[in-house]
Structure 1
Amino acid sequence: MRIALIADTHGALDARIAEAVNGVDVLVHAGDVGDGVVAAMASLSERLVIVHGNNDPDGSGWPERETLDLPGGELVVVHGHQWPARTRHRKLREQFPQARAIVCGHSHRRVVDRETDPWVLNPGAAGRTRAYGGPGWIELTVGTRDWQVRASDLEPLKPKRR
């Protein structure tokens, strides 16, 4: 099963990421979606999982947390703004010890922390806003026994000429 993890689009999903994730089994967005992104994601996967970020409108209807029952374990999805950066990974692991992996956003910085279980995965920003070093995403390939993570970093887009 192929799962694409993205976050922090803030209204602009990078077209290269949209092309790369097209056809995944599940497309997960870890919050701070922004206007127009849900429509852009709708054709990319039959299953979209979106959680509410601190910059999403209160009426979005997206939950603060989602748990996906997957072969080989649970994937928990939260935005991450609920915990201070300094202790975020520890607090996430304490709150969701049953998970195989936890996906969060908020910092706009890519993290693949597999040092301790559960893993903490932050795909970084998949749009233009604070995409440190360029936009990116994480591909999670899930099997009953083996989960594999592949982070993809893209070159920053050059500013549009006016």
Structure 2
Amino acid sequence: MDLGDQERVTLALISDTHGTLERVLLPWLAEVDVIVHAGDLLDPGELRQLAPKSGHLVVVRGNNDTPGQWPEGTEALLDTLPEQAYLDLPGGRLVVEHGHRVNPARTRHERLRRRHPEARAIVYGHTHRRVIDTDETPWVLNPGAAGRQRAFGGIGFLRLTATVDEWQVEAVTLPKRGRDT
């Protein structure tokens, strides 16, 4: 997707909804230009609920996005999900993949950076743990879980704002509500 000619693009980076997207996030997600889902969707019905301003959704396939875990009859949609996605934004390229094929975990960021040196930032999911690693370029970002399963650190997402001159990333986390987080 090429949005590099825009002055400013705001993205919601989400992952690991596992069919349990937290509905209270929907108003926030509707305020962005693009929603990026870094895999483990499991319920394609959730895509109908995601309505960014531009209508642009980018979804990659996670390790749990398999025919056995998706509802029957949705295989054709599942087959359209790529392993990786590339978005040209103002000021650089964003690369998205689920991250489950980049192991061992202790060297995941290093390996992602070597795999995608052309990126300004790399988004991955899989771990359900939010990470904002902006110490070197490309940045490595994990939005954590936007669903109710294993949302370590709380249910939420990352909001990325990209302009030609500057990228900013902000964590949005729901308040804990007892046993479901």
Tell me the distance in 2 between the aligned counterparts of 1:87 and 1:137: 23
For this pair of structures, how many residues does the alignment match? 159
1:48 aligns with 2:48: no
Q: Cα RMSD between the aligned structures? A: 1.4
> Is the Cα–Cα contact under 8 Å of residues 134 and 157 in structure 1 kept in the other structure?
no
Quote the residue 2:140 is aligned against: 120
List runs of 5+ in structure 2 lacking aligned partners: 1-8, 68-74
Which amino acid counterpart does residue 90 of structure 1 have in structure 2? Answer: E
Q: 1:110-151 CA distances to partner (integer Å, 9 max, x unpaired)?
A: 000001110000000000010013201000001001000101
Quote the residue 2:130 is aligned against: 110
1:39 aligns with 2:48: yes
Quickly say closer, same or farther: Cα 1:12–1:115, change in 2 above 3 A. Answer: same
> Is the Cα–Cα contact under 8 Å of residues 14 and 146 in structure 2 kept in the other structure?
yes
Quote the residue 2:121 is aligned against: 101
Name whichever of 119-128 and 146-155 sits farther off: 146-155
Q: Secondary structure at the match of 1:149?
A: strand
Which amino acid counterpart does residue 12 of structure 2 have in structure 1? Answer: A
TM-score normalised according to structure 1 size: 0.93
Which amino acid counterpart does residue 47 of structure 1 have in structure 2? Answer: H
1:67 aligns with 2:76: no
1:79 aligns with 2:88: no
List runs of 5+ in structure 1 lacking aligned partners: none
Tell me the distance in 2 between the aligned counterparts of 1:146 and 1:48: 23
Tell me the distance in 2 between the aligned counterparts of 1:156 and 1:40: 23
Quick one: percent identity of the two aligned structures? Answer: 52
Q: 1:70-118 CA distances to partner (integer Å, 9 max, x unpaired)?
A: 1100000000001121111000000000100000000000000001110
TM-score normalised according to structure 2 size: 0.83
Quote the residue 1:14 is aligned against: 22
Shift of 1:16: 2.1
Quote the residue 2:12 is aligned against: 4
Superposed structure 1 runs of 4+ greater than 6 Å apart: none
Quote the residue 2:111 is aligned against: 91
Quote the residue 2:36 is aligned against: 28
> Is the Cα–Cα contact under 8 Å of residues 18 and 44 in structure 1 kept in the other structure?
no
> Is the Cα–Cα contact under 8 Å of residues 130 and 153 in structure 2 kept in the other structure?
no
